[in-house]
Amino acid sequence: MDKLRRALAAVMTAAAVASALSFQKEPGIEKRTGGWKKISDFGTK
């Protein structure tokens, strides 16, 4: 029973990792990168 549970957990982990990797590789998925940047110039004289 314990072996079966371990095997099931391993399969589920492998499936989760595989789906995450395939999601990353899927073409056309839009990703946004960037971040907060300090504003130093407000365009005032």
Partner 1 sequence: MRALVIGAGAVGTKVSQQLLSSNVVDKIILRDTSPEKLGIASKTLGRHVEVEHFPFSQNMDADVVVVASPRGTQLEAVKKAISLRRPTVVVSDDLAETVSILNLEKEAFEFGVPVAVGTGFAPGLSCVLTAYGKTFLEEIEEIHISKMGTGGPACAMVHHRALSRVSYEWREDKWNKRIGGSGRELLWFPEPVGPQDCYHAALSDPILLRNAFPEVTRISAKMAATRKDRFTAFFPMLVPPHNEGGVGAIRVELRGTKNGIQENIILGVSERPALAAASVTALTAEYLLKQKINFNHMSTLALMVEPSEFLSELTKRSIVMEIFEGDKTTA
Q: Does 39 bind partner 1 (CB under 8 A)?
A: yes
Choices 3-11, 14-22, 28-36; region in contact with partner 1 by CB under 8 A: 28-36
| Contact status: 27 vs partner 1 (CB under 8 A) | yes
CA distances from 38 to 1, 10, 31 (A): 58, 46, 23
- Asked if 22 interacts with partner 1 (CB under 8 A), we say no
Residues near partner 1, by CB under 8 A = 24-40, 42-44
